[in-house]
A and B are shown apart, each in its own frame.
Chain A
C-alpha cells in the first residue's frame, strides 16, 4: 500500500510538471487522454469488477456532455450549475438504463445497452431544433471557476484534478466491501445471493456509479472541445472505450487508463497519416484478444512472474 501511494505521488508530480515541458498541442492531447482514461476506468468498474458488459457507455458520456452544452448554449445557465447538472443527468440516465438493461446478462446485456445508447444518439441526431442535429452545439466556452480555464495549462490542471480524484475514488470503491462484493457477484451470483447479498442492487449501484463517472468525463470533454455533437454518443465511442479497457487489462483500473492513453495517442498519430483509423482500431482489438487477452497489465504481470521464476 505504501509503495502504491509513492507511485501515485510520483505520477501526480510527473503530471504536474507536464505543462512546463509540452507544447500546447500535446498538452491538449494529454488532457484528452486523461478524460478518456476516466471514461475507460468508469467502464472498467462495470465490465472488469461487476462483470457487466456494456456497448452503450457513450450514452452517459454524451448525456453529460449534451446537458452541459444545452444548459450553456440554449438556457444560458451558469457553469456552476451546468457542470454538476451534466454529471447528475448522466447518473440519472444510468439509473434508468440499469433498471431496463439489468434483466439481461452477457451478450444480451451488450445488445440492450447498445440499443439504449442508440436511442440517445437518435434523439441527439434527430431533434435538430434542440440539439442542432448533426451540426451539434458549437460555441461552448471553457468555464471560469474562480480563474479562467480557457488556456490549455489551466484546463489541463482542471482535468487532472477531476481525473485524479475520480481515479482515487474508483480505486477505493473496488477495494471496499462493495467492490469486493462486485467481484464475488462476477464469479457467482447464486453464491452471493445465498450469502445474503442483494445481487441486483449491487449491479444497479455499480452501473449508476459507472454512468456518473462517464458523465463527468463527458462534461470535461465538452469543455475540452468547446463543442458537442452526436459523435460523442456514437457506438464507436462505446466500442473504443471497451477496447481501451480490454487493451489495458480488464479489472485493473490502471490498465484501462493506460489503454485509453495509448488509443488516444494512436488515434491522433494515425489519423494524421491515414483515413483508416477504424481499421487500425479493429486490428488492435483482434490482436489484443488473440495475443494479450489480459491486456497490457496482464502481459506485464506475466513478464514479472517469469522473471521471478528464473
Chain B
C-alpha cells in the first residue's frame, strides 16, 4: 500500500487550470522532491494533499484511506504534517509555546479547560526535548517574531515534526535562506527517521538531489518527468524549462 496516492488530481480557479490531472505515488518511507518553475502548480498540489484546497476532481489516498475531501485538521489527525511556503507561525508566542501547541495538537490534547498547560509535564518535556534535539533550546523563550528568518524556517520544520507524522509535506523549507542555513535545514531533513514519508517542494536542484529518493518535475499543472537524479538530469524537457530554452507552446 502506498503512503500517498494522488490520482488524476485537478484544480481549477475559475478559468485557470492550476492542476491538470496530477498522479503520483509515494511508498512508505520514500522521499520525493517536487521541482518546477513558479506557477507550475506545486503549492496547489500541496494544498490539495494537506486539505487547504479541495481538488476539483481526482482522488487522494493516505495509506489507502480516501482523504480527498477531508478538512485540513482531520488530515493532520491522520498523520499529515506540513510547513508553509510563507512562514506560518504564531509570531506573538515564544518558540516553546509554538512547539507546545504543536505537541498538544499531535496528542489531541485540545478540549481541556481547567489544568494549566504548564501542568501537563509530559507535553512540556516533549516540547523541550524537540527544542533540544533540533538545537533551538537557547531560543525557547524568544518570541517567534524576534527570530531571524532562518530560525523561523527551522521552527516551522520542527513544528511539523512534533507529531511524528506519517506524511511530511515541506513547502520550500530552504527558500530565502543563506547557504549555511540551507545546509542546516538539509541536515535536519536528512536526520529524520527513515520511516517518515516526505514530499518536499524545492527550487534548488542540489538540495533536491541531496535529499530525494525520487524527483518529480512539474510544469503548467502537470508532472512532466519523474525519476532519480540521472533520469532527471538527462531529461531534455526538464533542462529546457530550467535553462529557459524557448517553449513551443504556452
Give the interface of A toward B (CB within 8 A).
169, 172-173, 175-181, 183-184, 187-188, 190-199, 202, 205
Contact between A177 and B110, CB atoms less than 8 A apart: yes
Q: A176-B117, A177-B123 given; name 13 further pairs at CB < 8 Å.
A: A172-B113, A173-B113, A173-B114, A178-B111, A180-B117, A181-B101, A187-B89, A192-B73, A194-B160, A195-B102, A196-B77, A198-B71, A198-B110
- Would you call B36 an interface residue if the criterion is a C-beta within 8 Å of the partner chain's C-beta atoms? no
Residues 90-114 of chain B: 1 if any A CB is under 8 Å from the residue's CB, otherwise 0? 1111000100111011101111111
What is the minimal beta-carbon distance from B137 to any residue of chain A, in angstroms? 20
Category for how many chain B residues contact A: 35 or more
Q: How far is the CA of A184 from the CA of B91 in the complex (A)?
A: 10
Query: With an 8 A cutoff between CB atoms, is B122 at the interface?
Result: no
* Chain A contact residues, majority secondary structure: helix
A sample of 5 inter-chain contacts (CB < 8 A) reads A176-B117, A178-B112, A195-B102, A196-B77, A196-B108
Among B73, B76, B101, B115, point to the contact of A176 (Cβ < 8 A): B115
Q: Is the CB of B90 within 8 A of A183?
A: yes
Q: Which residue in chain A gives the minimum CB-CB distance to B109?
A: A177
When chains A and B are docked, how far (Å) is the Cα of A193 from the Cα of B74? 8
7 shortest A-B CB distances, which residue pairs?
A: A195-B105, A196-B76, A187-B90, A175-B116, A193-B72, A196-B105, A177-B112
Q: Mark B129-142, 1 if CB is under 8 A from A, else 0.
A: 00000000000000
CA distance A205 to B213 in the complex (A): 45
* B81 part of interface (Cβ distance < 8 Å): yes
Once A180-B97, A188-B88 are accepted as A-B contacts, the answer to whether A193 and B120 lie under 8 Å apart by CB is: no
Instruction: Tell me whether A195 and B101 are in contact (CB under 8 A).
Output: yes
Chain A residue at minimum C-beta to C-beta distance from B144? A187
CB-based contact A196/B113 at 8 Å: no
Q: A192 to B73, alpha carbons, bound, how many Å?
A: 8
- Given contacts A190-B88, A194-B82, A195-B106, whether A172 and B77 have CB atoms under 8 Å apart is no
Contact A197 B73 (CB under 8 A): yes
A73 to B196, CA, bound (A): 66
**In the complex the two chains form, is B52's CB within 8 Å of A190's CB?**
yes
Question: In the docked arrangement, what's the CA distance between A202 and B88, Å?
Answer: 19
CA distance A153 to B146 in the complex (A): 51
A193 to B72, CA, bound (A): 6
Q: Which of A180, A183, A190 counts the most chain B CB atoms within 10 A?
A: A180
Chain B neighbourhood of A178, CB < 8 A: 110-113
B90 touches A181 (CB 8 A): no
- CB pair B104–A177 under 8 Å, yes or no, is yes
B50, CB-defined interface residue at 8 Å: yes
Taken together as a complex, chains A and B put the C-alpha atoms of A35 and B29 apart, in Å, by 58
Q: Which B72-87 residues have C-beta < 8 A from chain A?
A: 72-73, 76-77, 81-82, 84
Interface flag for B26 (CB, 8 Å): no
Is there contact, CB below 8 Å, between B82 and A176?
A: no
User: Taking the complex as formed, is B159 at the interface, i.e. its CB lies under 8 A from any CB of chain A?
Assistant: yes
Distance to closest chain B CB from A220 (angstroms): 22
B206 an interface residue at 8 Å Cβ cutoff?
A: no
**CA of A191 to CA of B162, assembled, Å:** 13
Judge whether B108 and A180 touch: CB under 8 Å: no
Chain A residue at minimal CB-CB distance from B82: A194
Q: Output the least CB separation between A91 and chain B (Å).
A: 15
State A199–B52 Cα separation when bound (angstroms). Answer: 13
Residues in A whose Cβ lies below 8 Å from that of B73: 192-199
